[in-house]
Structure 1
Amino acid sequence: MPLHEQTSLWSETTIKMRDGYVGTLQTGSTLVRNEIDSNLLLLAIGGEGELAMNGEVCRIGASFACHMAQGTSFTLTSGSDELYYMVMTYRAFSLEGASQVTPSYRKHPLQTSFVQSTAAQTEWVQQAEKIIAKWRRGEGLEVFHANALLQIMLYELIMEYESAQGGGESDKVEAVTSYIASHYRRNLELQELADLAGCSVRQLQRRFKQEKQLGPMEYAIRLRMENASRMLRHTDASIGQIADRIGYRDVYYFSRAFKKYYGVSPLGYRLDQASKQYERYAQALLRNRTASSYDSAQGPVICHLRGEYLVRQPPRRIAVLDVQYADHLLALGLPPAGSVGSGSASVDFPPSIRAGLQGTSLLGTYEYPDLPAVERLSPDLIICTEVHDRHAERLSRIAPVLTFKRNESWQTILGLFGELTGRRAEAQIILADYDRRTALLSEELAPALAGQSVALIRPLDSLVRVHSAAHRTGVVLYRDLGLPVPLFVADAADTAYHISVDRLAAVQASHYFVLSNRTMQGGISTTEQRVLDRLDTHGNRQIHGVDAAIWIGCYGPIGINGIVDRIEQALLK
């Protein structure tokens, strides 16, 4: 085909996405579409089965990608395992006149139906999930981005297809990699992996080593060892328990394999990592000079937003202007002399720390601190956030002031409070206990939530805020506990997206933690009731109401562990 014809063929073509969705095809079930009215891209992963397209039957393996032109009829049948699939439909346009037809060239790839007999690349699956999530948000820029990403995917798929048509070997490594990642805890056989890829054992080993610089069985061992090292670092599980969790029935054999991989026994590794934990923590603090500490000849120095504070001796009367700081001090066994409370109509403390603050003076609220009450308290030290900068001059006349970002990591703040109060060891124990607890709970939650996702949402005046993994509470759910993130916010760089109540179904989560302000408001809001009503219409959705004052405002170790308690109760009941 002449170059100028190729250039014209593609430069005058654009695509517009029409729909996108995901689904699961149960064992022995079928997905049927007759004479589709637009082009369709189908990706599936897991299991095996058959794809009948325009009367021709194709046996499909672990995963595949299929492009279908408008007018195609197909039936997808799952075999012995269920199939997770993604569908994206689109129309191709000629820019000249923008007629809603595919380009006229009779062999144009966008008019061709074909199956990639090799497994679909993992990157394609991840990209498809991102495209569908952006499309379902329904926002102008997000839809524009979805179309751009789909066009890139079509380009890669067509290039792969045309390469295969020319006799090139299709790459099967990524599908085998994905399969190993899901099944590395059990004994895998090379022949089993080769069958999934549709090639010989020798071909699989050669291609896998080219791509990953190690063989498929070595890759499975690496996953086992990485998971074992995480358990050794963050949990107190016995060596035997860890061996069993990652698929070794013989503890002695596991210990030999671990030592061969890391050069040290599992017990030696655990002891070595424990000794390095504080060093890593100290280095992390030094990188964050606005919330860090260092030792000097006179004593510890706390670095904060407004400068440095030398701790000549631990302060005895501390006033805090954020409830989360009261939580930190209580966790260290040191109630503050004074603290702001939560609420507006009636000011109080969160239930998780209320009992420990019986002798603590109330200093107003976070937004409206009672400065005369702070003056009457005569504290040795005041701890606040950047929100209180407008009061900085008046506060500094009362006592030394430490200012931190309100959204600073609670682990960082706890470590600094340990330095400040002379309770460094107690802070380290709290942090280690949290890492151990979340690592163990994450292992327990993974099988319970197979194929499900967990959303964190907050009804506002007229919208719903869907929090992402970038949010502080989202970090607890999605990073610390490894809960599955809804596709709707899977690629979000911001802490949240805002949508209308009517579009809540686009989130497509199985579990919803609904942040409620009913405690502060004295009842449920109209928007919150609409959210609950809409979620209740689908019986397969689990709704868990939680207190926003605690889940959003009380970011100390007591509050955070309370959040973990609630998650465990809700998802493992």
Structure 2
Amino acid sequence: MEMLVDWNAHIEQWSHAAVRLQRIRAYREQGQGNGEVVGEQFDSQPEFESGSEPTLDAHIGCFFVLTRGEVRIRIADEVYHCRSPYILHGGEGTGLNFDALDHHEMWDGYLVFYSAVPASSEERKSLALSYGFSPYALLPIQEKCEAMERLWAGGEPLDKLQGQSYFLPFVHEILRQRTQRLTHTERSRYNIVAEVIQYIQVHYSEPITVEKLAGRYDCSTSYLSRLFRNQMRLGPIEYLIHVRVQRARKLLLKSNAKVQDIASQVGYADVYYFSRLFKKYTGRSPLQFRTEHRKTTHARVQNNPLHGLESSIVSTSVHSHNENESYYQWSQEGDTSMFQFPRPAFGAMMVLCTSLILSACQASTTPGGTNAQEPTSSTATTVVSDSTAAETRTYTHLKGQSEIPVHPQRVVSFFHLGELMALGVKPVGTTTYILDNPHISDKTGITDVGVPPDAEKILALEPDLIVTTAAFAEAVEGGYDALKQIAPTIVVEQNNDPVKDVEMFGDILGKQEEAEQWKANFTAKIAEYKEKIKPYVEANETFSILNVRPDALFVYGDTNMGGNILYKYLGLKPAAKVDSDVIHGDTWEISSEVIPEYIGDRLFLAVNKGAEDKLKDVQKLIDASPAGKSGHVYSIDFDEFLPSDAIAVEKQLDIITDILTGKAQ
């Protein structure tokens, strides 16, 4: 059994030790008959190439990354039964013994040897720790292994030097996942979306299809598209287009590159197609956009603290690309701008910018200072003393603990707009598709921070609190680390349950009384509407929700698309097959031939745009169902029923009740 570990202390030792990658080996298609690995022991002190031997006082350790199959490994007198994905760490002097659990199944993996020079005997002991665990996101670890193995196999000194640069990020990702505690829901549902977002942000210039993404994450295209849309309110390819257009905008404004070169840079070989797409999303052709926006952008950049920082820390080469950190630099009239910040660098810049701004504010308001000015109503800057500083408290969330304002005043929320509005709090910013919620009418004063969310737009809003889901946190350039440098940032669950979400935000915003009042009103409304529909619904009648899309059919459970209204709140009975297969899940993809099994006495039907042909294919099956025969098939608008926030569910409750009581037009 793995011993109890002080992981913070262990990570601290890694940050102190001088660490070096020594060797990496890939094992592919391992199994019965491959005597090189199966049942053979490896010592964790391998033979090193001449000139790369570690120093005598170095600790030698290894990581084993199982990417496919099952294998039994003995390490440090402990036996680990590993099913991919799995990570093992072996300390100094421990042997590794591999034995396939099923000799008919192949397994793949990587064995990574490293040396570390600890500062003390205590550090050596900590680094010698042996442990194993299943990572919740294999892809970031596997990609670093692939890069290290490819570069190491090349044998060239420059390749090996670059291979070294991947090792510490590899260790960081392993330790981050080992120490971060996520719920089962977070692992199983949201991290697929977060990983797809990460992949798109790195590989946006490459050919990407939904089929390729689905194959990479071992799921169907329809499942991935539905899950992605549920989290981000748009599909993966539409998100890819947004990322490409956003990158193109920056290149147009901050470089003199030709439109054709920029199109190629962001993944479009056809410059004419790129220009049409760019105009569709921005309202301007690429050249018009550059001409109209460059002047105002230049003025804004001159007053942006990031501008000076970029020029001072980045070389002025015309064009360079760093594969490891994935950023681009261009030179324009002596100015160098960084378009895609590496996450640590972006965070550091935010800290420095904040310090510069605060220093400037303090200098301008110091009594008797040479630059002191009388404040005016439009330009006054107030420096809050410690005694009057905003009160804060510690809030625990998916990324750990954060100090947040007790009563935040300027909130940016990427997803939960409806919950904030239900509590009487209008955020200063939210994302594009959340802002498109058809049930929220008063959107004045709410800034669209884009998709993916734009860190500079968020910074300009001067928020005192940022609330995000895990998927949206990954979508921001620089990720969670960049967001928390702008303002206190918390990562929350996406419950798809308005009652839970309102209670959660009541706690976050210091609006507990308002949350309780909303809950009481909503509960009373449900009770009232239950009585309203009683004369119109037989006790044993069953209900179903079917969504027809151009390439798929989905049956909904009790979370959204009206399922929470029908089954949870109104207490109506789902069709037997819905009850057994779907009821406690989001959706269930079905094939056309089994439609009759899932349709009950009444059917709520949502047909997406462009799905007319698909509807024709299944119309006869719907007509032959109990709901079809009795004329109890009700059309609902997909966009109106997609949100499941506190304001949306009240509107949806009205719509469904009107349908069932015959009041709907």
Which category describes the TM-score, using the shorter chain as reference length? 0.3 to 0.5
Q: TM (normalized to structure 2)?
A: 0.37
Q: TM (normalized to structure 1)?
A: 0.42
Choose between structure 1 and 2 for higher RCO, CA contacts under 8 A separated by at least 6 residues. Answer: 1
